[in-house]
Amino acid sequence: MHESFTIRDVSVHRFARRWAAILVPKVGWVRFRLSRPLPDQCGMARFTMDRCGRWHVSFTAPQPVMLRALTGTVVGIDLGVAAAVTLSDGRQFRAPVMTPGEAQRLRRLERRKARQQKRSNRRERTKHSIARLHARQADRRKDFIEQTSTRLVREHDLIALENLNVRGMLASARGTVEQPGTNVRQKAGLNRAISQQGWSMLRRRIKDKAATCGVRVIAVDPCRTSQTCNACGHVDPASRESQARFRCTGCGHAAHADINAALNILAAGLAVTGRGGTAGSSGPDEASTLADAA
């Protein structure tokens, strides 16, 4: 399973461009490949084994300072159930999901595993293949989170995002009694991806990086950001026609649902800073925003 341990007094020695060794008590020097530069000062070292049996070592070190120039740009970010990051300027970044080919291979492997005898060598090999597929997917999500958080912090002086309620999001995809969730099966899969990859991870990386370069991050109350019309401020759950479409029952304003939400999130964030002005008035009236300063 997932094993891990920590070493406090770290001795590391780099012997090639991409290779270093670390002294592990009772084991000796262990070589490892450098996936990123070693920090100047290695605090503690943490060893973890991932799902497919690979060991990783990571060092505690302060987040390196990000260099950026003021851009004068502010942004609201909607983290959607459809595994997409939607910005108030209309751009959208999709979190990686399995390719159809990988999903098919996974289904085939799962079926094979179900047929195989418990504890047999063949079954162990199948389990290992399944774990490798999942691990590759996890690596991709991690890359996506690193790249997206760097980009968002580099481009914006202020970032407003939702104080995410993962539990609520999972519940909403299952649907309610009156309004059963559409594509529940498909969404259940997406939800698994999201809870694993964790929008919370993305939020944390944005905050970590923002804190090194003075970018302000404001977490706003997610309540009603998806039900409020960004054009007129009218609040009605029925305005959200579908996962993707928003049509205001008050003024008829139609928009992409996630962009409408991102604009509301931005407005709520600006309202906190007092830079609201025009934008603040059209945002959700929940001023109970949580400002966790950068």
Which residues of the chain form contacts with Zn ion (CB under 5 A)?
229, 231-232, 234, 248, 250-251, 253
**Rounded least distance, CB 246 to Zn ion, Å:** 9
Identify which of residues 16 and 251 has a Cβ nearer to Zn ion in the complex: 251
Identify which of residues 34 and 251 has a Cβ nearer to Zn ion in the complex: 251
Identify which of residues 105 and 234 has a Cβ nearer to Zn ion in the complex: 234
| Catalytic residue of the set 89, 146, 258, 292 | 258
Q: Is 157 a catalytic residue?
A: no
Question: Based on the number of CB atoms within 10 Å of its own CB, is 118 exposed (0-12), middle (13-18) or buried (19 or more)?
Answer: exposed
Could you say which DSSP state residue 37 is in?
Answer: P
Identify which of residues 65 and 232 has a Cβ nearer to Zn ion in the complex: 232
**Rounded least distance, CB 250 to Zn ion, Å:** 4
| Catalytic residue of the set 102, 162, 236, 286 | 162
| Catalytic residue of the set 9, 50, 78, 285 | 78
**Rounded least distance, CB 111 to Zn ion, Å:** 49
Q: Tokens for 104, please give them.
A: 């098919």
Identify which of residues 12 and 231 has a Cβ nearer to Zn ion in the complex: 231
Q: Is 258 a catalytic residue?
A: yes
With beta carbons less than 8 A apart as the criterion, state whether 137 and 190 touch.
no
How many Å apart are CA 14 and CA 109, to the nearest integer? 40
Which helix (H) or strand (E) is 150 found in, with range?
helix 121-155
CA-CA-CA-CA torsion for 49, 51, 52, 58, nearest 10 degrees?
A: -30
**Rounded least distance, CB 239 to Zn ion, Å:** 7
**Rounded least distance, CB 282 to Zn ion, Å:** 9
* Number of neighbours of residue 209 by Cβ within 10 angstroms: 23
With beta carbons less than 8 A apart as the criterion, state whether 2 and 48 touch.
yes
With beta carbons less than 8 A apart as the criterion, state whether 269 and 76 touch.
yes
Q: Is 110 a catalytic residue?
A: no
| Residues designated as active site | 78, 162, 258
